[in-house]
Amino acid sequence: KKDAGVSKLKVVQGNVNAFLYEIYVSFIPLAEDRGITYTFEVKGNETELWFDRLEMEKVAINLLSNAFKFTPDKGEIKVVLGKEEQEGNWYFSIKDSGAGIASKSLPYIFDRFYQAKGNGQIHSDGGSGIGLFLSKQIVEAHKGMIMAESMLGEGATFYVSLPMGNSHFQAEELAEEDTLLANEIRQTILPIHESLEVDKGKKEPSEKATLLVVDDNDDIRSYLKYQLSEAFSIEEARNGEEAWELAKNIVPDLILADISMPKMTGIELCQLVKTNVITSHIPVVLLTARSSIAYQVDGFQEGADAYITKPFNIGLLEVRIRNLILS
């Protein structure tokens, strides 16, 4: 699509710090599972930037995926963002404690199909050599810059810098509003309602449907509550045992549960919910790291209604929840 010239930017103004934090949070379970020290640091104030969310999401996810791929268990990954002191551009960097990149390979890592050989190389695991090339194309389409610094055995740092304002974009690249992408996603699947009306006897029809969000990570629970509370009434639980007691008492409209939790896993919770006459009708959506295919099989065997892999798009998650409740 890039070569054919059919992939055009659609930039909108938005809080780029919040945008990047959303992507950062989606990798937290993977970091916890592997014992990686994973941090997020903002230097300066909130920043409004003009950028194409869908395209820049590809860049951020690719760089974070590479960092996790080449960082050993118990390693460290640090995300930093802010404004450059001299140039005044907005930037973010991702630094890892992985194997690093050999100096002879560093000049070529953004070349299309480049696959370095040997330990510590960016594509030594048989990658396609497309990710970093595409990331560079996207950043440069934003009139920005992407670069890497590394020494073999000492990790790598990837740095993305983007100019402020929108004067560097063509008129056809400017989207009309901040919510353009989210609205397009939702309207192609289900019309938007300010609140989902579900009649369940005790509830008034105008009340919001109730979601039970289950995750042992406080940050992820807070993030999901923040993103979904406008459309749904949110109840929280820190593990499967807590969630099971709540589910029997409040009978939520849907349960959104992480897989890996202490005391009782999401799969064990799903099994209890689906085999109890009081709760068996409740849809269960399981969340986990995208590489856990075996967990997905186990979850579906226990009656899970949907499986959402991390990192996920919050707009698509909301649409999936709405459709499950309505059906």
Q: Which helix (H) or strand (E) holds 267?
A: helix 266-274
> What mean pLDDT is predicted for residues 274-301?
76
pTM: 0.57
Reply yes or no on whether the pLDDT at 151 is more than 80: yes
d(CA 64, CA 61): 5
Question: Predicted confidence band at 1 (pLDDT cuts at 50, 70, 90)?
Answer: low
What are 92's strand-pairing partners?
Answer: 81, 160
Reply yes or no on whether the pLDDT at 37 is more than 90: yes
Query: What does the CA dihedral 37, 160, 310, 295 come to, rounded to 10 degrees?
Result: -60
Reply yes or no on whether the pLDDT at 303 is more than 80: no
Mean residue pLDDT of the chain comes to 80
Query: Dihedral of CA 151/156/158/159: which sign?
Result: negative
- Render pLDDT for 51-70 as a digit per residue (tens, 0 to 9): 998 889 989 999 999 999 88
Report pLDDT for 120: 43
Helix 218-228 / helix 16-26 crossing angle, nearest 10 deg: 130
Burial of residue 86, with CB atoms counted within 10 A of its CB: 0-12 exposed, 13-18 middle, 19 or more buried: exposed
Reply yes or no on whether the pLDDT at 293 is more than 70: no
List of residues 6+ apart from 29 with CB closer than 8 A: 217, 220, 258, 260, 287, 288, 289, 310
List of residues 6+ apart from 22 with CB closer than 8 A: 223, 314
